[in-house]
Amino acid sequence: MKKTALILLFAGALLSGPISTSGRTASWSGVDETVIEKFAEKAGRPAWKPFINTDQGDLLLFVFLLAGAAGGFAAGYWFRVLFPPRRKNEVGRILNHDV
């Protein structure tokens, strides 16, 4: 009971943190870009535009989709090489063994 209450407290604090304590709404902006760049600007070192600037309109969504598909394909390919699907008789043997 105590354990469940603490886990619920943890989850609740995570979910309601920005609203309950400050009243601000979450921006969900990527901290990589916004905060480091703001901090660097204060120090007189504003970030440059990327050499290949894909951060224009929906172009960034497109390259992220491509990157996700390529990365996912590579991960899936190597996963099947390393962890081939179990054969039917092997699954049966494992299940029987479990019983």
Partner 1 sequence: MIIKILAAAALLCALPTPAFAMHISEGILPISWALLWYAAALPFVMWGLRDLRRRSEEAPWFKPLVGLVGAAVFLISCMPIPVPSAGTCSHPCGTGIAAILIGPGLTAVVASIALTLQALFLAHGGITTLGANIFSMGVAGAWVGWGVFTAARRLGLPWIAAAFLAGMLSDWATYATTSLELAAALHGDGSFTTMFSLILLAFVPTQLPLGILEGFLCAGVLKFVRSRRPELLRTVPAGGAA
**List of residues contacting partner 1 (CB under 8 A):** 2-3, 6-7, 9-10, 12-18, 20-22, 24-37, 39-40, 43-55, 60, 63-64, 67-68, 71-72, 74-75, 77-79, 81-83
14 vs 95, beta carbon nearer partner 1: 14
**Residue 37: other Cβ atoms inside 10 A:** 14
Q: How far is the CB of 49 from partner 1 (least distance, A)?
A: 7
31, 37 contact by CB (below 8 A): no
Q: How far is the CB of 92 from partner 1 (least distance, A)?
A: 17
3-state DSSP call for residue 53? coil
What is the phi/psi pair of residue 78, to 5°? -70, -30
